[in-house]
Structure 1
Amino acid sequence: MTPQSSVPASPTGLEEQRLLVRRARKEMVRRHRTRQGDSAEPPIRVMARLVDDLERECAARRFDRTATRLEIVNRTIGDVNVRLITECEGEEGGPGDYRLLGDELGIALPGEDLNGHTASGKGYHWLRDRMTEAERQLLAAGYDPRIYDIQGVGNPILRGWLAADMRQWGVTASAEQVALGLGATDCIDKILRGLAHFARRRSQPPGAVLFAAPGFNMPELQAETYGYRLHRVRTRPGEQFKLTAALLARHLDENPDITVVYLTVTNNPTTLAYTEDELSALMEVVRRFAGRGRRVHVLADLAYIGTGRPAEDEARMRGLASAADVAGQMIYVNSFSKTYTLTGDRFGWAVFGDTEFSVAMRSSWMNSVSCLPGEWQLRFMAYHALFRQNPELIEKIRGLYRLRRSRLRRQLELFDEEFRLFERIHVDDDATIYSWSRLRAGEDCFSVLEKTGIAGIPGSTFGYSDDYIRFSVGILPVVMD
């Protein structure tokens, strides 16, 4: 008899349950594979729906929850859920006890159980006290976060803090050059909309946005919405899937309608990052075209600056800022989502290369959110203060990412020994929260899920081929059993 889902299975019963889950997994994969050709859904949604359907099926059959959790692992989602962290390296309560992050970041509620650790609530209450202090500070400066903000870009104190952060990386910026947004994706949407609006006011089309593939695809959907032509440049494995200076120069030369280059400095999905020299070479190309009267904006996505080694991230930023004479063509976008595991809080901001351009872009902000939420700005300020006062938290988050990437790589190697799935499991640049691998001929996302229970995202999601697959280390720990 199948045990109730709320009753733990015995060791023997657990193995039987796991076999039942594997059988259900195989059935569900084959069912979805059959329907794939008739579906207009993008690959990422197909995989997400498959996993959801499979988990519902196992629940309906009343399979043991532990067996289901071990045999179905959703690695399509890229973000860490700190409530699900189970890893503890070394002494309980010590620096390697990653379960404490939910408490230390103020996400866990006071008294909440974090996989064996009871949250003290210290971080939770500290953030709220700091928000009160931040509101008093804003009121003293003449900014009331509770009334309509005609600029739409957020309070000047927080924008000044974020500008100072950029100056530490060699990027000259003031508060006037910073605009807050509800996450980096929201900022990118506003930027693309604003640039398209400027073009139409000149009775010109928006032009094209150059996207290096494989790459994060959300901005492609946004650009298409605002009438841009999508110009994909397929990168090569031998060049670590990076846009080279030679490729950029050739495509700009052959496509005079390219007005924006979208550049992910540390790449999702490949986990590989540009070096300082590579970025300096790209900026030299932009400078060269500017000298011919061609203004091309570089939209630099810094989502994973902060997840890698600090010295290397600083060098990357120096490379981006190396072309001071085209600083006005630079747009930097960042967030707290990946670097600080604060996806749900949606803290993002844009930094424009010069003040005049920044002021001109404000209409795009005002025409969308109109006024940023006051409580949200106060929480944003509180978190900024938290990380400045507790830099060890940043290193702890990096340590968790590093641990999960190494464990996932080892797990994939073990599965490869058993099933011969991968042609190559790429080694990351000690950054991001992903793993990028090339599949052997005849394998795809469906077969990997069927054989291993791990759901990944096919390369076509990122403008590449389904010979590749991306796994996330984010939302779930890597369980080696």
Structure 2
Amino acid sequence: EQHTILRQLRHELLLQYRPILQQGAGPIRVMARMVAELEKRCRELHITEEVMQDEIVNRTIGDVNLRLITECEGEPGGPGDYRMMAEELGIALPNEDINGYVAPGETYLWLRNQMLECERLLLSEGFDLRIYDILAVGNPVLRGWLAEEMQRWGISVTREQVYLGLGAMDSINKVLCGLSQMYREQGLTDVAVLFPEPGFNIPEWQARSYGYRLLNYQTLPEDHFKITASQLEELLENDPHIRIIYLTVTNNPTTFAYSPAELDAINAVVSRYNAAGREIFILADLAYIGTGKPEEDQARMATFTSPDVLRHCIFVSSLSKTHSLTGERFGWVTVGRADIAAAIAAGWSNSMAALPADWQLRYMAYVRLIRARPWLVEKLRALYKLRRQRFFAQLQHIDKEQHLFEHIFVDDDATVYNWSQLRPGEDAFSLFEKAGIAGVPGSGFGYSDEFVRFSIGVIPVPEIPLTIP
């Protein structure tokens, strides 16, 4: 009976929310809000959690909640016990029960001690976080550490070319703000930003707020939803005002990553225009570099290392997805040219008087933790892969029974998502009604609603035998 009541509630909410989406509201927020309201109504009617878990699977948001990890491959406490990651990453409180694993909380306490040590280190270097930092780009010690991390990829920069940000979104916003100020000083009134679609759309809203003209380009499924060098060449030729290219090296939502050859070809196009006197920057979003195979990510990053390429690049990095630290908001910007770094610094000083003191200390403590435990990123990558494979098998199983999908794409072994194409006549709403899985329509990423993005992050994925076509 509770299953029937829940399905009726779900149907009613779908009828209510579908017009809202069609009116142009943000699809990610619409879907997440609809699921939240459904869960709220179910609890008001005292529908059991077990029934809700059967009928409502929220795959709209990408974050991995370390406290909700249940997967344990092999012996409890062994290398495949992913429940321990909340302890290993310092999230779990002392004696917190993580689905049967009781965390000692040692890492949680260690991080706090490291914050104390890092503040002493900064004071010994003559930098006091408790007063204004006029430039607001972050303390020089941490920026130096992050410059060293970029150097591990082969990116030759100093700390003067690294600025901190409150996650990737804030970092992108500050870059766009700083560049817009630079362009105003140069007397440029028409500056276009190229956004290949489908793609993460918040930078589009940010760019629009700073007065940029947006050029959205629909990529093709046959190109694995990636812009090609020849397409870029044509776009740059046809629009002489394109000065920024937003490039997600490993893509959200599609899960496909640019190959080294594809990146080399794109960089060659941009380098030719820069050599001819037309300054074009690649704003490279590296949010998911580190979630892919290490040797493949290293090869991708190697395409940016030559001086002729590095000079037109601005990189945005984050620990949110690579280390599942989404709530901590640890981001940074690396600028390929020192003069451009200085020119866009206004994006920081005009937005805040100083970056938060304790946030910087916690950031420093986490950098020390990650350096002390280099295996963390590989363990988290293994969890992502496990969940992606299980979810792929789950979609196969659903499709075998209900024939909802035209194409379930196999990812490039990276990110925390699945990108799939629905059959004609289906959309994210009908999928939610028939299968109980809530994803984000393609329109949330500037694409067609015949596509849908699912997250494998927030909640675990049930195990179903996997068949790779």
> Shorter-chain TM-score: what band?
over 0.9
Cα pair 1:262 1:300 within 8 Å, conserved: yes
Tell me the secondary structure at the aligned position of residue 381 of structure 1: helix
Note the C-alpha offset of 1:326: 4.2
Deviations 1:338-375 (A, max 9, x none): 00000100000000012121122212101102201111
Identity of aligned residues (%): 54
What residue identity is the alignment partner of 1:403?
L
**Size of the alignment, in residue pairs?**
464
Note the C-alpha offset of 1:386: 0.7
Measured in 2, the distance between the counterparts of 1:31 and 1:220 equals: 28
Cα pair 1:200 1:206 within 8 Å, conserved: no
User: Is residue 236 from structure 1 mapped to residue 220 from structure 2 by the alignment?
Assistant: yes
Note the C-alpha offset of 1:272: 0.4
Cα pair 1:153 1:371 within 8 Å, conserved: yes
User: Is residue 106 from structure 1 mapped to residue 90 from structure 2 by the alignment?
Assistant: yes
Report the equivalent of 1:450: 433
What residue identity is the alignment partner of 1:32?
Y
User: Is residue 26 from structure 1 mapped to residue 11 from structure 2 by the alignment?
Assistant: yes
Candidates 259, 263, 269, aligned match of 2:253: 269
Deviations 1:306-342 (A, max 9, x none): 00111000000011234x2242221000000000000
Deviations 1:426-457 (A, max 9, x none): 00011000000011000000000001111000
Candidates 387, 390, 412, aligned match of 2:373: 390
Note the C-alpha offset of 1:35: 5.3
Measured in 2, the distance between the counterparts of 1:130 and 1:268 equals: 33
Cα pair 1:328 1:357 within 8 Å, conserved: no
User: Is residue 379 from structure 1 mapped to residue 362 from structure 2 by the alignment?
Assistant: yes
Report the equivalent of 1:431: 414
What residue identity is the alignment partner of 1:154?
G
Note the C-alpha offset of 1:27: 3.0
Candidates 397, 401, 407, aligned match of 2:384: 401
Note the C-alpha offset of 1:40: 4.2
Taking structure 2 as the reference length, what is the TM-score of the superposition? 0.97
Note the C-alpha offset of 1:145: 1.4
Report the equivalent of 1:10: none
Report the equivalent of 1:341: 324
RMSD value, Cα = 1.3
What residue identity is the alignment partner of 2:194?
L
Report the equivalent of 2:211: 227
What residue identity is the alignment partner of 2:3?
R
Measured in 2, the distance between the counterparts of 1:86 and 1:223 equals: 40
- The ranges of structure 1 where at least 4 consecutive aligned residues each deviate by more than 4 angstroms after the TM superposition are 34-37
Runs of 5+ consecutive residues of structure 2 not aligned to the other structure: 465-469
Cα pair 1:300 1:331 within 8 Å, conserved: yes
Tell me the secondary structure at the aligned position of residue 419 of structure 2: strand
Tell me the secondary structure at the aligned position of residue 102 of structure 1: helix
Deviations 1:447-477 (A, max 9, x none): 0000111100011111110110000001111
Cα pair 1:199 1:206 within 8 Å, conserved: no
Cα pair 1:290 1:326 within 8 Å, conserved: no
Measured in 2, the distance between the counterparts of 1:313 and 1:202 equals: 36
Note the C-alpha offset of 1:36: 4.7
User: Is residue 360 from structure 1 mapped to residue 349 from structure 2 by the alignment?
Assistant: no
Candidates 117, 134, 145, aligned match of 1:161: 145
Runs of 5+ consecutive residues of structure 1 not aligned to the other structure: 1-15
User: Is residue 252 from structure 1 mapped to residue 260 from structure 2 by the alignment?
Assistant: no
Tell me the secondary structure at the aligned position of residue 303 of structure 2: helix
Tell me the secondary structure at the aligned position of residue 449 of structure 1: helix
Cα pair 1:93 1:100 within 8 Å, conserved: yes
Note the C-alpha offset of 1:34: 5.3
Measured in 2, the distance between the counterparts of 1:391 and 1:402 equals: 18
